[in-house]
Amino acid sequence: MNVEVVAIGTELLLGQIVDTNSSWIGQELAAAGLNSHYQTKVGDNPDRIRSVLRQALERSDAVICCGGLGPTQDDITRDMIAEMMGVELEFQADIADRIRAMFETRGREMPEINLRQAMLPVGATTIAEQPGTAPGLRCPVRAADGSERLLYAVPGVPYEMKEMMTGSVIPELRRLSGDESVIKSRVIRTWGASESGLAEILADRIDDLDAAGNPTLAFLASGVEGLKVRITAKAADEAAVVAMLDAELQNLEPLIGHVIFGFDDDNMEAVVIKTLAEANLTLAVAESVTGGYVAGRLCAVPGASKVFRGGVVAYHPEVKFDVLDVPEGPVVTEEAAGAMAEGVRVKLGADIGIATTGVAGPEESEGKKVGTVCVAVARREGVRTTTLTLPGDRERIRQYSAISLLDMLRREIVG
Amino acid sequence: MNVEVVAIGTELLLGQIVDTNSSWIGQELAAAGLNSHYQTKVGDNPDRIRSVLRQALERSDAVICCGGLGPTQDDITRDMIAEMMGVELEFQADIADRIRAMFETRGREMPEINLRQAMLPVGATTIAEQPGTAPGLRCPVRAADGSERLLYAVPGVPYEMKEMMTGSVIPELRRLSGDESVIKSRVIRTWGASESGLAEILADRIDDLDAAGNPTLAFLASGVEGLKVRITAKAADEAAVVAMLDAELQNLEPLIGHVIFGFDDDNMEAVVIKTLAEANLTLAVAESVTGGYVAGRLCAVPGASKVFRGGVVAYHPEVKFDVLDVPEGPVVTEEAAGAMAEGVRVKLGADIGIATTGVAGPEESEGKKVGTVCVAVARREGVRTTTLTLPGDRERIRQYSAISLLDMLRREIVG
């Protein structure tokens, strides 16, 4: 089943907003086993929307139209769809009531203009989910060859669009595709291996899987955050697909277990917080080169307060000496990193202290090259330090330092 | 002149990579006064690339084709363009030499497969800039109606694409459009006003400008980072366009000067660091709810070390009491925020201390609702505090807190 995505909005063409919606929809379609061969962006212009929709309806079985469902005069998706269907727009009182009620719960009166969102092409139905004021539309359209195509219209607001896609559109498309099997993916989060390195380790396994066709493996890059390995499997029912995913995970574990830090929606900081909580350990952070970035990531994890005591951003050398009791001297050294980690551990009353100190640029410091970063993990039992040589600009060096340190900490705890 | 963008790559359709290239190109085309009405993503499939390119060449004067110029078998943009031009691919020894030389400067031997990148459609020329191994292509194509269209092919690697677009493609398109005037924009960064609020203040001015047509004003949202107001002007030469932009800035200043914090590429943290440096003041940060995020942003600014001493992430209440000498008691109060700011100022030997303490959720704390955030700025002369009530989830509350505090500090210094 071929499904095509059309994103509507002049702001997308002008690059004022990056069209992440189409990318997300493409990902979901692929995960559901549905083909998506084209994605088009078009502005708020009737002639051009008309020509893009007409072409999409000719060459695809279903079209997902994203954006242009707002209340203003610019929002002409409803009108264009009615034209494609060869019908008029019709006011639907129940939809107007629903929109009015939404405004009322926020203590506001509905502006008259929002009544435009209650105008539906005759023959269209609304998508069950409606988290915002714009109803999503499901519109059967007759193609030139007489066959019926499905056109869905969803709002451009990402969370509204996602709720409708996940709740209604993707499930219906899968049903229509006649494919009643269940497709599921698991994502393995790795850190510390290059793409070519992982590909080499997994080459034989990938060949075997390619030959069988199910499950499949894919590598997804995620910048300094490491590589994701996605396993996708298809089976007759939920239990069978979960069993396949588990079995494949067991196949991969002996090969790449040493670089796996988490699964699916895990990120490094969430894994670190969880690992610390399970070990009943508290943490404090001393940062120079990362300047608060490591602490900021850890605090972003809900529930961080159970294990995270706090940190010291010891940016100026004097702060290292005065607040963290680092011995005076050069500060881009493993000794200084170790002293910072131990200093913050003791000062903030934590079980573990971690630290970064280094040169993010633009200039060298203490004769050390840009990209030289010393990191440390201090526990009651002792201090472990290492020196990293990192590529990239200031921002990248900070990010690499942070994730390197967090992974070092994780390995320290899991042993 | 109508210019169309075609992004080639199956990874774009699958959402493994978000197509930010088209957005950037759209932005640049608009800034250059060139129309761009369609942007299409298509996978690495000959039939579909063929149909997309054919249509683009029919309906637009020029087409910018992005991606598919790599060395592997997947990269078929060169082949498809040769087909559009009705010519063969031809090996160009000088390009091969250039690519080989690039590998040599990195101390590596050129893999044989990279010779594919030296195959050019007969009649195509290379784009002058070539920061990577892929040459960009400039290809005249005859459309069905006999007229000549221009097809440019640029690599999908963003920095390679941008160098070619800025250096060659956009200037040539502008020349071909016959428009020899100069177009320039200035962006005004504002914080603290809503879009509808700004629109109301500027309504009369926008009406006047709309009537005249040049310069133009546009609002660009940038999330919690405030609204951008972009002035775009067109004039016969550089001096005239700069004068127009300056004049319009002077018109706007009395209307919205109170919410302007910077211009063009400025961000809030860079403005704060610059303002502090000019006033010869040093800064320290105490963070609870933002957990290092404010410090992290400040340290991301090159040259931050001149003014930024460091900070204390006082996440656990004990760290507030023990390290920052905050009096024991409730910690989500303006008193606590003030004590944190003053404590970190004194402890880290800075002229100014700033602080955040609040409830980011998911749960309430000290009977205070999620979104309650107290911020403070402490100087030798005294402490200023305020309480914010912020919307959104944990991440949004943290971000809002940070930018609110930075703007408060900025206003404190500029007076």
- Cβ–Cβ of B315/A296 closer than 8 Å? no
Instruction: State the ipTM, two decimals.
Output: 0.78
Q: Which residue of B6, B40, B41 to mutate against A (max A Cβ within 10 Å)? A: B41
Looking at residue B415, what is its pLDDT? 83
Residue the block writes with tokens 């170790």: A338
Nearest to residue A7, comparing CAs of A77, A80, A60?
A: A77
Longest CA pairwise span in chain B (Å): 83
| CA–CA distance, B403 with B192 (Å, rounded to integer) | 10
Q: Crossing angle of helices A334-347/A317-324, nearest 10°?
A: 40
Q: What is the pLDDT of residues A106-148, one digit of tens each?
A: 777 888 888 999 999 999 999 999 988 899 999 999 988 889 9
**Nearest one of A340, A301, A338, A299 to A322, comparing CA atoms:** A340
What is the tens place of the pLDDT at every residue in B288-316?
999 999 999 999 999 899 999 999 999 99
List the beta strands (DSSP E) in B315-411.
352-358, 372-379, 382-389
Residue A199, pLDDT > 90, answer no
Burial of B102 (0-12, 13-18, 19+ CB in 10 A): middle
Judged against a pLDDT cut of 90, whether residue A197 lies above it is answered with no
Lowest mean pLDDT among A149-153, B113-117, B257-261, B341-345: B113-117
Tens digits of per-residue pLDDT, B163-188? 999 999 999 999 999 887 888 889 99
Highest mean pLDDT out of A109-113, A334-338, B17-21 = A334-338
Question: For residue B398, which residues of chain A lie inside 8 Å, CB to CB?
Answer: 299-300
How many residues belong to chain B? 415
Q: Chain A residue closest to B307 (CA)?
A: A316
**Whether B40 and A41 lie within 8 Å, measured CB to CB:** yes
Q: Is the pLDDT of residue B54 over 80?
A: yes
Q: Please tell me which of the candidates B15, B18, B300 has its beta carbon nearest to residue A395.
A: B300
The total number of residues written for chain A in this structure: 415
Distance in Å, alpha carbon of B36 to nearest chain A alpha carbon: 7
Å between A332 CA and nearest CA of chain B: 15
**Is the per-residue pLDDT at B36 higher than 80?**
yes
Question: How far is residue A118's CA from residue A89's CA, in Å, rounded to a whole number?
Answer: 9
The CATH homologous superfamily of the domain defined by B3-176: MoaB/Mog-like domain (3.40.980.10)
Please say whether the beta carbons of B355 and B376 come within 8 A: yes
Per the CB < 8 Å rule, is A315 touching B302? no
- The DSSP secondary-structure symbol of A100 reads H
Query: Is the confidence at residue A219, as pLDDT, over 80?
Result: no
* Interface touch B15/A37, C-beta < 8 Å: no
DSSP 8-class letter at B112: G
Side-chain-facing half-sphere of B293: CA atoms under 13 Å: 26
Percent of chain B surpassing pLDDT 70: 99
In A, which residues are within 8 Å of B19 by CB distance?
18-19, 22-23
Is the pLDDT reported for residue B221 higher than 80? Answer: no
> Does the pLDDT value for residue A191 go beyond 90?
yes
A402 versus B218: the higher-pLDDT residue is: A402
Residue range B246-270, pLDDT digits in tens: 999 999 999 999 999 999 989 999 9
One-letter amino acid at A62 equals A
Asked whether B122 and B137 are in contact (CB, 8 A), the reply is no
User: What pLDDT score was predicted for residue B181?
Assistant: 82
Contacts of B14 in chain A (CB under 8 A): 26-27, 30
Model confidence at B325, pLDDT cuts 50, 70, 90, reads very high
Top-ranked range on mean pLDDT: pick from A24-33, A387-396, B42-51, B211-220:
B42-51
Give the Cα separation of A51 and B370 in Å (integer).
48
What's the Cα-to-Cα distance from B222 to each of A8, A17, B201, B337, rounded to whole Å? 20, 9, 19, 28
**Tokens 């677009």, located at residue:** B165
How far A355 CA sits from the closest chain B CA (Å)? Answer: 14
Start-to-end Cα distance in chain B: 48
Is the pLDDT reported for residue B203 higher than 90?
A: no
What CATH number was assigned to the domain covering residues B268-414? 3.90.950.20
Let me know: does A356 contact A336? Beta carbons within 8 Å: no
Cβ–Cβ below 8 Å for B310 and A312: yes
How far is B183 from chain A, CA to nearest CA, in Å? 15
Report the C-alpha gap between A230 and A255 in whole angstroms.
Answer: 15
Question: Which of A5, A10, A16, A53 is the best mutation test for B, with the most CBs of B within 10 A?
Answer: A16
Q: A147: burial class by Cβ within 10 Å (0-12, 13-18, 19+)?
A: exposed
Contact across the interface for A38 and B30, Cβ inside 8 Å: no
Contacts of A394 in chain B (CB under 8 A): 300, 302
Residue indicated by tokens 């919307």: B391
Contact assignment for B296 to A300 by CB distance below 8 Å: no
Residue in A18, A38, A316 nearest the CB of B309: A316
Cβ-defined contact of B295 to A291 (cutoff 8 Å): yes
- Using the predicted structure, report yes or no on whether residue A408 has a pLDDT greater than 80: yes
Q: How near does any CA of chain B get to the CA of A35, in Å?
A: 9
> Nearest CA of chain A to the CA of B118: how many Å?
24
For residue A402, the chain B residue with the least C-alpha distance is: B296
List chain B residues with CB under 8 Å of A30.
Answer: 13-15
Which residues of chain A are within 8 Å of residue B24 when distances are taken between CB atoms?
Answer: 15
Which one of B19, B36, B395 has the shortest CB-CB distance to A23? B19
* Cβ neighbours of B18 in A, within 8 Å: 18-20, 23
Q: How far is CA A111 from CA A68, A99, A228, B2, B198, in A?
A: 18, 10, 46, 38, 19
Of the pLDDT bands very low, low, confident and very high (cuts 50, 70, 90), residue B46 is very high
Arithmetic mean of pLDDT, A402-411: 97
Q: Which of A106, A219, A316 to mutate to test the interface with B (most CBs of B within 10 A)?
A: A316
Average of per-residue pLDDT across B192-206: 81
Using the beta-carbon criterion (under 8 Å), do B349 and A318 form an inter-chain contact? yes
Cα(B199)–Cα(A174) distance, integer angstroms: 44
pLDDT band at residue A230 using 50, 70 and 90 as cut-offs: confident
pLDDT at B234 over 70: yes
Neighbours of A362 (CB within 10 A): 10
- What per-residue confidence (pLDDT) applies to B266? 95
Closest to B41 measured CA to CA, from B2, B83, B11: B11
Cis, peptide link before residue B215, omega less than 30° from 0: yes
Shortest alpha-carbon distance between residue B223 and chain A (Å): 11
In tens, the pLDDT along A242-295 reads 999 999 999 999 999 999 999 998 999 999 999 999 999 999 999 999 999 999
Say yes or no to pLDDT of B59 above 90.
yes
Query: In the prediction, which pLDDT does B241 show?
Result: 93
pLDDT of the residue at A366: 93
* pLDDT given at position A221: 67
CB contacts, 8 Å: B36 with chain A: 13
Instruction: Give the C-alpha separation, A152 to A163, whole Å.
Output: 14
Domain B182-263 has CATH 3.30.70.2860: yes
Percent of chain A scored above 90 by pLDDT? 73
User: Which has the minimum average pLDDT: B39-43, B146-150, B347-351?
Assistant: B146-150
Q: Do A361 and B302 touch (CB under 8 A)?
A: yes
Q: Quick one: pLDDT band at residue A388, thresholds 50, 70, 90?
A: very high
CA distance A348 to chain B (A): 6
Closest approach of A232 to chain B, Cα-based (Å): 14
Nearest CA distance, A229 vs chain B (angstrom)? 12
Q: Please tell me which residue of chain B has the smallest CA distance to A319.
A: B348
Nearest to B313 among A25, A28, A295 (CB): A295
Partner-chain contact A16 B27, CB within 8 Å: yes
Where do the domains of chain B lie?
3-176, 182-263, 268-414
CB–CB contact A25 B17 (8 Å): no
Q: Are A15 and B30 in contact (CB < 8 Å)? A: yes
C-beta neighbour count of A322 within 10 angstroms = 16
Sheet holding A216-221, edge to edge: A216-221, A227-235, A182-190, A260-263
CB pairs under 8 A between A and B: 225
Neighboring chain A residues of B348 at a CB cutoff of 8 Å: 316, 319, 322-323
